[in-house]
Amino acid sequence: MRDDRYISGNNALAFPAPPFPVAPEHASLPAKPRLMANPHILVVDDEPDISALVAYHLARESYRVRTAATGNEALRAMETEVPDLILLDLMLPGVSGLDVLREIRRQDVWKDVPVILLTAKREETDRLEGLRLGADDYVSKPFSPQEVVLRVGAVLRRVQQQPPTRSGGKVLRIGPFVLDVEGKRAEVGDRELDLTPTEFRLLQVLMERRGRVQTRRQLLEAVWEVTARIATRTVDMHVQRLRTKSGVEADWIETVRGFGYRFRTDPPPATEG
């Protein structure tokens, strides 16, 4: 039996027109190359109008989209097919969006799937907790469907991009940090770091630009691949998580107050006991 919630970009014209205005074709985002055909997006939101709006615009960009209205329904959908990216509303009935995110990051088969949170502005505490749990980005409601499509594309390109052939197995070594760019492995001391794709990319950018202060906007453009005005708290929370995972070596990533962040080229001063 056909599942009408599963929408292929190839038959997007068959998807019923949403009960809201749709931007004209000339307003569509410019086509950008993708490294895989028709990525599978799981949209988890209990508001049918929002799910339909997001699904419609993603399908127009040739994404395959499946929707779920509850946390349990989302987890069952992921057991059927692991998505390439999840758009996850925090305020879900029953199992909350945060609980779904915890389960995603707990399961080996799902832990590397990128997650973009859909949140209301009043949910700042939950949004920050979601970033701590490993969400890759968030979009605040009310949002523009075009912005959601842009964020989805940017996150997928960041996660799916392959290291350039010319890198030849590039490895960055600074102090106790070792970053294998091609192998997507990071170590500090003799301990491997368990990083999300966004955290890995953030560490890579900071190490490649070691000794130079990086503003939040520079990091947004280099790591998140967006130039739109979004909350700089996203950068701060990811840097905080990266420092936490770095343990006693966290001070190699230093805050330059009023400017941004910098990866040190020399060991940080010893902390007075």
28-59 pLDDT, tens digit per residue, is: 333 444 445 688 999 999 999 999 999 999 99
Helices (H), the chain: 48-60, 71-80, 97-106, 124-133, 145-160, 197-208, 216-219, 233-246
CATH fold of 165-263 reads: Arc Repressor Mutant, subunit A (1.10.10)
- Please, which pLDDT band fits residue 79 given cuts at 50, 70 and 90? confident
pLDDT of residue 34: 41
- Please, which pLDDT band fits residue 165 given cuts at 50, 70 and 90? very low
pLDDT of residue 36: 58
pLDDT surpasses 80 at 205: yes
Global pTM reads 0.58
pLDDT of residue 160: 67
Residues forming CATH 3.40.50.2300 domain(s) in the chain: 9-22+33-160
pLDDT surpasses 70 at 9: no
Query: Pairing relation of β-strands 185-188 and 177-180?
Result: antiparallel
Q: In the sheet that 85-89 helps form, which strands lie side by side, from edge to edge?
A: 64-68, 40-44, 85-89, 115-120, 137-141
Question: Which of 154-168, 188-202, 212-226, 254-268 shows the lowest mean pLDDT across its residues?
Answer: 154-168
Residues forming CATH 1.10.10.10 domain(s) in the chain: 165-263
pLDDT of residue 230: 55
pLDDT of residue 13: 33
pLDDT surpasses 90 at 152: yes
pLDDT of residue 19: 42
**What value does the mean pLDDT take over residues 50-78?**
92
Are 104 and 139 in contact, with CB atoms under 8 Å apart? no
CA 80 vs CA 4, 25, 74, 187: distances in Å: 15, 33, 10, 34
Write phi, then psi, for 41 (nearest 5 degrees): -110, 130
Q: What value does the mean pLDDT of the chain take?
A: 80
Q: Which two tokens stand for residue 81?
A: 């097919």
pLDDT of residue 162: 42
- Please, which pLDDT band fits residue 126 given cuts at 50, 70 and 90? confident
Instruction: Tell me yes or no: is domain 9-22+33-160 CATH 3.40.190.10.
Output: no
pLDDT of residue 264: 92
CA 142 vs CA 32, 105, 119, 120: distances in Å: 25, 27, 9, 7
pLDDT of residue 217: 85
Q: Which two tokens stand for residue 184?
A: 């997507």
